[in-house]
Amino acid sequence: MAECPLLDQCKFYEKYQNIDDKTLLEGFVNRFCNGNFEQCVVKKITEDHNMDYVPDNMLPDGMPEPGTDDSEWSEDIIDYM
C-alpha cells in the first residue's frame, strides 16, 4: 500500500510517531497515511496552503482530536469539512 507523500512534514503523523500508546490513532494512520490519503483533510489543506495552516489538533478526517474542539479554527479550515 502506498504511503502519503506528505508524511515527512505532516503534523498529525509526527504527533502519532511521538506518542507511547498509538492504539487510538492507529486506525487513522492505516486509513489515511498508509492508504486512502487522497481523502485526508490535512493533505488537502497542505496542498492548498501549507502544513503551517493545518490546526495542531486536526485529525486526518478533519475532526479535532478527542478532548479538543475546533473553536480556534478559522472559517477557512472549517470549510474543508
Sequential DSSP letters for 36-73: -GGG-HHHHHHHHS-GGGS-TTB-TTSPBPTT--STTS
Q: What is the pLDDT of residue 68?
A: 96
What percent of the residues of the chain are helix, what percent strand, and what percent coil, each to the nearest 5? 50, 0, 50
* Residue ranges per structural domain of the chain: 7-78
| Cell numbers 472559517: residue | 75
Q: What is the pLDDT of residue 21?
A: 87
**Residue segments in the chain with a per-residue pLDDT below the cut of 50:** none
Note the pTM of the prediction, 2 decimals.
0.89
